[in-house]
Amino acid sequence: MKISDSLEVDHPIQQVWDLLQQPQFFLSAMPGVQSWEAVNETTFDTLVVQRVGPFRVQLQVQMSLDDVDPPRRLVASGRGKESSGSMLSIPSAVLELEELGEDRTKLSFEIDFSLTGKLGSLGSMMIRRKASEMSREFANNLEAAARAAGA
């Protein structure tokens, strides 16, 4: 399944990129991230907790940065497991930044993933709706964190 979205923020591209390169900043903006730990410079273990439909989902996810092209593009991949045995595979997660002006940046992302088990059986409409909700929440969190950081 592929999910994509974009958002615009009122901050220069380099400042947005610099903030996104800080794991504590980036992960704090991601909805549902309860904890994270750096395995090395390019790999992170995270615990993500979300409500998807009638289920409370708790995923242990390991993400790796595969390609980084500052300040324009970041490509990651990952895998995870939910406590009920559902499996998550993320062959590709691409984040691209585009300068829209001196103080405006567009962030676009596309995530290719698959779910098995209980989560996979929910259906794409429910998962897409949740992803859209998380995208809006991420945009709000990113904007608030950028303002707080003085970006």
Give all domains of the chain, ordered by start, each with its CATH number: 2-145 (3.30.530.20)
Q: Is the pLDDT of residue 9 over 60?
A: yes
Predicted pLDDT of residue 150: 66
Helix (H) or strand (E) holding 40: none
Grade residue 131 by pLDDT with cuts at 50, 70 and 90.
confident
Q: CB of 111 within 8 A of CB of 3?
A: yes
Q: Is pLDDT at 28 greater than 90 in this prediction?
A: no
Neighbours of 146 (CB within 10 A): 20
| Structure tokens given for 62 | 């390991």
**Per-residue pLDDT at 102 exceeds 70:** yes
Q: Provide the percentage of residues in the chain whose pLDDT is more than 90.
A: 38
Give the residue among 97, 64, 59 at the shortest CA–CA distance from 78: 64
For 104, the token pair is 């405006």
Q: Which residue has the higher pLDDT, 147 or 137?
A: 137
> Which range among 102-106, 117-121, 140-144 has the greatest average pLDDT?
102-106
Q: Is it the case that residue 75 has pLDDT exceeding 90?
A: yes
pLDDT of residue 26: 75
pLDDT band at 99 (very low <50, low <70, confident <90, very high): very high
Instruction: Report, as an integer, the average pLDDT of 81-99.
Output: 91
Q: Residue 63: name the closest of 76, 75, 74 by CA.
A: 76
Take residue 75 and report the two structure tokens written for it. Answer: 């490509």
